Structure 1
Amino acid sequence: MRKFGATELGVLLFIYCFCVNMPMAIGQGRILGRVVDELTGKGIPQASIKVVGTSIGTSCDSLGNFVVAVNSDKTNHIEVSAMGYRTYKGGYVASETEVIIKLHPDERVIDAIEISSKRKYNNKNPAVELIEEVIKHKRINRMVRQPKHRFEQYDKIRFGMVDPSSKYLKGLGSMRFFFENIDTVSIPGSKLLALFMKEQISDVYQTNDPVSSKKVVKSVKQTKYDERHINNHNIQSYLTYLFQDVDIYAENIFLINKLFLSPIANNAPVFYKYYIVDTVDVNMKPFVELRFEPRNKTDLLLSGRLWVSLDGRYAVGKARLNTNKEANLNWVNRVDIEQDFTVNEEQQMFLERSDVQILFGTEKKEALFGQKITMNYDFDFKATFSDAVFSGAPIEILPQADSSIAILEERRPIPLNSSESRVYTDVDSLNDNRTFKTLVTLGYLVGQGFYNLGPFELGPVEYLYSSNNIEGNRIRIGGRTTGLFSEKLYIEGYLAYGLRDQSFKYFVKPTIALNGKAVTTFPAHYLQFGVQHDIFDPGRNLGFKKGDSFFQSIRSNKPTKWLDTYAYEAKHLIEFGNHLSIQSGFVHHRRHAIGDLNFISSGDPSVNIEDVNTNELEFVLRWAPNEKFYYRNLVRRTIIEKHPIFNVQYNKGLRGFWGADYNYDALRAAVTKRFFMRQLGFVDVTLSGGKIWGTLPYPLLEIPDVFKNDDRHVIDYSLMRNMEFVADEFVKLSIDHQLEGFILNKIPLVKRLKLRELWGVKMFRGRLTDGNNPYLSSGVVHFDTDNEGNKLTHVMGNQPYWEGKVGIDNILRVFRVEYIRRLNYLDLPNVNKDTYRVSVHLNF
């Protein structure tokens, strides 16, 4: 290959630039003109000029004058538009002679707008027309709709106390230093004490064909408390959930678990009022300043101002948004959002800075604050990168991010103030403080129910004692290992003893990581083994928490039918970056009926089948796109957002070894999703169904769950008795709608209480095939009876089971009261038709 010298290379570059640029220089001219009102002859300020078929455009000055570059070799088609006037199109050639363009007023426009709360608002005014133009142009102005590009992003999240009382400094002794690090700069007039801070630098990649976005976090620095008692991941996840990225062009803005309608949403003019405040120049470009406010300030809407460009793009150049004090928000005094946009060479507006501040507290005083600042910089609008960068999760944290703090220190676009700089070192010092260690140990015991001993922790406390009709008083000692023991091997277990049956029960389950990472790390890959001997009520799953807590033992519908169970299981789980997981496993069960549970053969009433033994292969496919979650050890709790969760499970029964008696197949599927309905709150919907093939005793079939379960796919029924219905073909549905005060907020006086209404229904539709129906088949077992001879289990009729609820939430900000009613199957024995439930809910 020939190598070019410096002189030759310079010549080639000159020729290239000359060939590329000369045609434009040769064919370029300009049009000078003035845009005037056709009726009055007065110049129209800020009218938009656009050369059709090109990206060339400009706007008029305050007198209506303009100059626009055009092709001098042909007729150029000019489009002229202005608020309150009909759009004009005409053909012109380049000329130094001034062109007069007359615009005809649009008869829909009112002559003047008076910004006054005393005057009735009119839907047809220039401000509304302008916002409608903004809405029309949203698609071309959204950042993710622009051609392939990349940029660097800096995020800083802080959370802490506002104006901490001097009382905190008294009696703190050695912890006093932490409460003396006060920030008086960030929020003028307020003193801030940061308890948590996180910074990160990321590379962001975006493309519009198809619309895709990927964020690669390459450097992270955050405060880290003692992991034995405080889960830093959960703090980070919760704050990230509260402070989600704000996209002014999206239909909704999601903050503090609420969905606020954007002031430029497609139907925003139905809910907002708009007023023109002024016309201003920002960076030598004309903008109109708009003020907006809700028509009903008790709804989840925002107030504030928008600066809209008048260059024909109608892009947002600045936004200042805030919540209204009349809105039905809990523990939140105010939310302030500031966004500033910058323009690139193609005159497209891009978000440069976003600042979200939330003040938490009572109506009279702020107690806590949260803030998220995002800076976007180093834009590359001609970036070249492979589409493979978008594979995997939308947000990827590089393994070396925690150890690459030097990148953050070098690339941080906003310097930290003196108070912020101390936060990291102060938290490190606090972790070594003896008084602080004692406080967090007690807090962990109360909050989590475990007492930490370093490599091992004892608990949960609520499982130390319980009672039932078989064991009488039950004593249980349990615990689990922690990261100090090993991050790649996790063990949990318990030993229990019943004083009445004088029998020991036990459970142990080790989990071993297969990917060389911590067991809890996402995406996880591990192997798990389990051995358990305990008594279970029919339908209950194996596990560390199997329903034998103190609170379960004092419920009204305590079980009296039990299965003495020995179980052995082995499972393998692998998760992928797109939150798809595959679990496979083998479980052996040996069940023995005890107490007053009897398995009487349906073919021969004299035969009592005491043991039900099974071998089972299990395969579970789960997909939770964009899932975020809290975790503690292996227990995960999904942070509920708009994304659905899908679950498919297949079980295969294997007869013929280890004493197993049954062949069967079972397929179950479920989907759950939260639907945000803007001003109508949100609805949680769960739909599941399945089918079981094979001839089986009814405890091995589908028995609806009547106990509260944290699994979002599991639907529990409040007024259904344990083992009341059984099926081998079934569908379940749960709808829970929280209106967030949509109705009560509009009732005078009542709205001051900020109450929130809710309603919901649950349905179970089950069918029992003839082969599993003890009234028709001789190969199964009869349904058991109670002490009065009433059947405890029933074959469902043609109608599904329904129960419904209505309730009031946010009573005194913490209480929820629900009325639950059973809607059918009321003629069955010993059923409760309705009940009331009072619970504590802390919601924003």
Structure 2
Amino acid sequence: MRSVPSFYLWCAFVFVFCLTAKSSLAQSVVSGKVQSKETKQAIPGATITDLNSKKGASADKNGSFTLKLDSNAKQIEIRAMGYKPIVVPLPIKPGNNVFELVDESNRIEAVSISHKKKYSNKNNPAVELIDLVIRNKHKNRLSGKDSLEFDQYDKLKFGLLDPKISGKQGMLGLNFLFRNIDSSSYDGKKLLSLYLEETNAKVFGKKNPSKFKRVITAQKKTEFDKRYINNPNIQEFLNFMFQQVDVYDESVYILNKQFLSPIADNGKVFYKYYITDTIFNDEGYFIQLRFEPRNKTDLLFKGVLQVSMDGSYAVKQANLKIDKESNLNWVKEGEINFHYLKNDSGIMLIDSTRTFLTFGVRKGESIFADRVSVNNNYKLGEKFPTDVFAGPPTEILPQAGITIPERPIALNQAEQNTYRNIETLNQKKSFKTLMAVGYLLSQGYYNLGMFELGPLEYVYSQNNIERNRFRIGGRTTQALTDKAFFEGYIAYGQDDARLKYFLRTAVSLNGKSIVTFPAHYIEGSIQNDIMEPGQQIGFLKGDSFFRSIRRNRPTKWFDTRAYQLQHVFEFGNHFSISTGFTHRNQNTVGDLRLINSGNPDLLLTHIQSNEAHIDFRWAPFEKFYYRNLTRKTIIEKHPVFNIMYTHSLDGFWNTTYKYDKLTASASKRFFLNQLGFADLKVTGGKLWGTLPYTMLELPNVKQKEDRHTVDFDMMNPMEFVADKYLKVKFYHQMQGFLFNKIPLIKKLNLREVWGAQMFYGQLSDRNNPYISNNVVEFDTNKEGLTLTHVPNSEPYWEGIVGIDNILNVLKVEYVKRLSFNGLPNVNNDRFRVSININF
């Protein structure tokens, strides 16, 4: 009887073995070497793909590969950047195969090389050809097509270049990472990827009106510990700094810099061009141009263009290299390669793009960024559904995160290991400690899991009421829930011996994460603290340690008890509506004295207000970094608009005053090609009602940071007041355009900055204490001098000039007060030094 179970066990074993054997026998292995047909040199990084199963492999540094094939495999495709792909039918011998690819730039039937004489622009045939390229680029670029659709695969890697590999068990136990070296992706370089992102997308575009829509259908990326790293922020940052580019753009935007394209409209002003080759191959007739910057310190490229001579004057290939003398920090080398293919109709369309950059502070220690984009399956002239361009320009489908990307370029073994290695890294205790310290120093918060304490810079500060102020605060994290959020603090002042507090909570109304876009939530806040006149309630109200040591720190305060309830609704087109109610109960403290303008014996010590507001905000194509409900806009070319209307609820909850207020704001960054970029901020408003001046516009009161903030450096708090006003700020970062032209100076990579900011306001007679008896007099200082003034006669101006990138990290600016210099207790100018780290 005992043999029966053994018999069944044996049968089961045989059955499983047969299945396994069948599966194994159903596979075959093909191996070989990929090399150049012309030079017979190995092609590292070439990809070999089974066209049926889409399984793939990459050639190593010797061009060798091994690929397992399914039983129904019929063809394999072999391709490499810069070479014409080939398709090989199966079966072939299992090993010792040699596959030769033809270099597209060298498949030449006849070549004539021009003289290397340097021509002037007037007589240079290369410049004449560039003129033709520029004249026709509007129809050759993708945005010039009436309608198009294509599939796009994008791969972005970031990590260490040529890392030093040690066998010692050091590095906080992180040595396992250094065993995953990629030596086949880029010839002659060893890459250790710490971030890897892949996406598949459907891209739609049309000409009139010009629109593009990118729908991400599959996405996979490495992710770090969410307690310390906001992974979407890493994704936004890397995709912003190393974004997809096009040689047809006027400026190629990379590293937050504008490099002028060699085929820009004014390219002849900045570049020299030479014809080097004429190329005849099975795709047509092309002329090869070499270009180089006239001034190597400017943000320009050097490299090679191939131009089609079929009458379209389209770019066939482009190799753009960043010059080592460019006004950049820490960039050791940079290269962008564009490759275009003709479709069946003879139209040149972009096939692939690769951007590769390396950075480092010292010799031998470098990091890299590598981005590859492959476009295929083009469809031109087809009609789209009417709603294809609805919503944001980049849309991620709900199933994208669980769909494995289809790869026209197969991942090599090191790339495949990157995902697993980062998961292992997140489990290392030493790495968690390192991240916690870094998070505290960079963000000011100490993470406790579901809660975090901070920010660090608000723990201690000083002011004239509390003298020494101590505060402890914190907020919840998504580890608790992403459907709700809480933050708050308690503070204690040594001199006034009072406890202050703040609490805010927000709850999602759409069942989705409260922190991501588009959000829909309701929030409530309670605050009991001393606050500057005119200041909004908030978790961060400007009383940090660094604010408390500034020369123009505030000295006048209200003891404020406030409540706020707000509803926020964001639409997919980046239009949002916020509605809310705010109650404030304020009492004067310290030496703030509000004397009735009609009766000097009557002192105003208490103000109570109840407001309802509605705020319309439109930020087209906005991208941002976020942490909980705090967002920081990534400033691009698109403007941001705000319109807010506020109405006092007269007669409700002992409202003291009746009034209405309208505020409008706009901000925009202007990209000026070689002249850098300039930021313009404009805010205007008007108040209706008879109010004490502390409820009017006080332009230099610290408010919640937003895109429209104008912070006047030389203006004292409460120095000016208005009930109708306009604030403007213009700030231009020229990126070294002038310094790059000065011998010797240009070697220092200095950059020019300049700007101006203005406040113009008017105060109606009903709110002017010198005319009206129904308001309060302006406060005075200890010497009896009036602190607040009416700028009815002229605008208040400040001018700024400065030098950025001193020693690669410092910015020194000279700020001068240009008007109202005769007022008491004001400084007319100052130097300010700040740390500004940028490429």
CA RMSD of aligned residues (A): 1.7
One-letter amino acid matched to 2:134:
I
One-letter amino acid matched to 1:146:
K
**1-structure distance, mates of 2:199, 2:680:** 35
**2-structure distance, mates of 1:453, 1:785:** 47
**1-structure distance, mates of 2:365, 2:339:** 27
Could you give the per-residue CA deviations for residues 525-582 of structure 1, whole angstroms, max 9, x where no partner exists? 1100111110001122211111222222222223221100011111111111121111
Alignment partner of 2:600: what SS? coil
Identity %: 51
Deviation, 1:159, is 0.7
Which of 813, 819, 836 aligns to 2:831? It is 836
Could you give the per-residue CA deviations for residues 781-801 of structure 1, whole angstroms, max 9, x where no partner exists? 110000000001011132100
**1-structure distance, mates of 2:612, 2:557:** 24
Could you give the per-residue CA deviations for residues 234-283 of structure 1, whole angstroms, max 9, x where no partner exists? 11101110122212222221111111111111221222111111111344
User: Counterpart of 2:613?
Assistant: 618
Residue pair 1:706, 1:718 contacting (<8 A) in 2 also: no
Alignment partner of 1:189: what SS? coil
1:683-694 map, 5 Å: 683-694=678-689
Residue pair 1:760, 1:806 contacting (<8 A) in 2 also: yes
User: Counterpart of 2:328?
Assistant: 329
1:749-768 map, 5 Å: 749-768=744-763
Deviation, 1:362, is 3.6
User: Counterpart of 2:499?
Assistant: 504
Deviation, 1:499, is 2.2
Deviation, 1:480, is 0.4
Q: Structure 1 residues 822, 170: CA separation in 2 closer, same or farther (over 3 Å shift)?
A: farther
One-letter amino acid matched to 2:116:
I
User: Counterpart of 1:810?
Assistant: 805
User: Counterpart of 1:214?
Assistant: 213
Which of 528, 542, 551 aligns to 2:546? It is 551
User: Normalization by structure 1: what TM-score?
Assistant: 0.84
**2-structure distance, mates of 1:202, 1:434:** 37
User: Counterpart of 1:127?
Assistant: 126
User: Counterpart of 1:247?
Assistant: 246
1:460-499 map, 5 Å: 460-499=455-494
Deviation, 1:113, is 6.3
Q: Which one is further off, 269-278 or 170-179?
A: 170-179
Alignment partner of 2:470: what SS? strand
Alignment partner of 2:174: what SS? helix
One-letter amino acid matched to 2:384:
F
Which of 513, 523, 528 aligns to 1:518? It is 513
**1-structure distance, mates of 2:282, 2:471:** 71
Aligned residues: 728
Q: Structure 1 residues 543, 426: CA separation in 2 closer, same or farther (over 3 Å shift)?
A: same
1:125-524 map, 5 Å: 125-166=124-165, 171-362=170-361, 364-365=363-364, 367-381=366-380, 383-405=382-404, 408=405, 411-524=406-519
Q: Which one is further off, 133-142 or 807-816?
A: 133-142
Residue pair 1:113, 1:125 contacting (<8 A) in 2 also: no
Alignment partner of 1:794: what SS? coil
User: Counterpart of 1:105?
Assistant: none
Residue pair 2:121, 2:127 contacting (<8 A) in 1 also: no
One-letter amino acid matched to 2:125:
P
**2-structure distance, mates of 1:349, 1:213:** 19
Could you give the per-residue CA deviations for residues 421-465 of structure 1, whole angstroms, max 9, x where no partner exists? 000000001111111111111111111111111111111112112
User: Normalization by structure 2: what TM-score?
Assistant: 0.85
Deviation, 1:707, is 4.6
Q: Structure 1 residues 643, 572: CA separation in 2 closer, same or farther (over 3 Å shift)?
A: same
User: Counterpart of 1:114?
Assistant: 115
Deviation, 1:403, is 1.5
Residue pair 2:220, 2:401 contacting (<8 A) in 1 also: yes
Deviation, 1:179, is 2.4
User: Counterpart of 2:523?
Assistant: 528
Deviation, 1:383, is 3.8
Alignment partner of 2:402: what SS? coil
**1-structure distance, mates of 2:165, 2:354:** 29
**2-structure distance, mates of 1:169, 1:733:** 59
Q: Which one is further off, 197-206 or 178-187?
A: 178-187
User: Counterpart of 1:704?
Assistant: 699
Consecutive unaligned residues in structure 1, runs of 5 or more: 1-111
Deviation, 1:166, is 3.6
Residue pair 1:539, 1:705 contacting (<8 A) in 2 also: no
Residue pair 2:534, 2:701 contacting (<8 A) in 1 also: no
Could you give the per-residue CA deviations for residues 205-242 of structure 1, whole angstroms, max 9, x where no partner exists? 12233322111001110000010001111111011101
Deviation, 1:178, is 1.5
User: Counterpart of 1:8?
Assistant: none
**2-structure distance, mates of 1:739, 1:696:** 44
Q: Which one is further off, 376-385 or 610-619?
A: 376-385
**2-structure distance, mates of 1:189, 1:665:** 68
Could you give the per-residue CA deviations for residues 82-132 of structure 1, whole angstroms, max 9, x where no partner exists? xxxxxxxxxxxxxxxxxxxxxxxxxxxxxx96325xx56443221111111
Could you give the per-residue CA deviations for residues 820-842 of structure 1, whole angstroms, max 9, x where no partner exists? 11111111100001111111100
Which of 625, 635, 642 aligns to 1:640? It is 635
Q: Structure 1 residues 586, 826: CA separation in 2 closer, same or farther (over 3 Å shift)?
A: same
Q: Quick check: 1:661 aligned with 2:653? A: no
One-letter amino acid matched to 2:278:
T
Q: Structure 1 residues 553, 168: CA separation in 2 closer, same or farther (over 3 Å shift)?
A: farther
User: Counterpart of 1:63?
Assistant: none
Q: Which one is further off, 338-347 or 363-372?
A: 363-372
**2-structure distance, mates of 1:713, 1:458:** 29
User: Counterpart of 2:38?
Assistant: none
**2-structure distance, mates of 1:268, 1:382:** 31
Residue pair 1:279, 1:289 contacting (<8 A) in 2 also: yes
**1-structure distance, mates of 2:280, 2:115:** 22
Alignment partner of 1:436: what SS? helix
**2-structure distance, mates of 1:434, 1:140:** 56
Residue pair 2:769, 2:775 contacting (<8 A) in 1 also: yes
**2-structure distance, mates of 1:514, 1:281:** 64
User: Counterpart of 1:794?
Assistant: 789
User: Counterpart of 1:54?
Assistant: none
**1-structure distance, mates of 2:770, 2:430:** 68
Residue pair 1:615, 1:654 contacting (<8 A) in 2 also: yes
**2-structure distance, mates of 1:123, 1:294:** 18
Alignment partner of 2:594: what SS? coil
Q: Structure 1 residues 282, 211: CA separation in 2 closer, same or farther (over 3 Å shift)?
A: farther
One-letter amino acid matched to 1:789:
G
**1-structure distance, mates of 2:556, 2:361:** 49
Could you give the per-residue CA deviations for residues 56-78 of structure 1, whole angstroms, max 9, x where no partner exists? xxxxxxxxxxxxxxxxxxxxxxx
One-letter amino acid matched to 2:180:
N
One-letter amino acid matched to 1:369:
F
Consecutive unaligned residues in structure 2, runs of 5 or more: 1-112
User: Counterpart of 1:77?
Assistant: none
Q: Quick check: 1:737 aligned with 2:716? A: no
**1-structure distance, mates of 2:785, 2:166:** 64
Residue pair 1:708, 1:716 contacting (<8 A) in 2 also: no
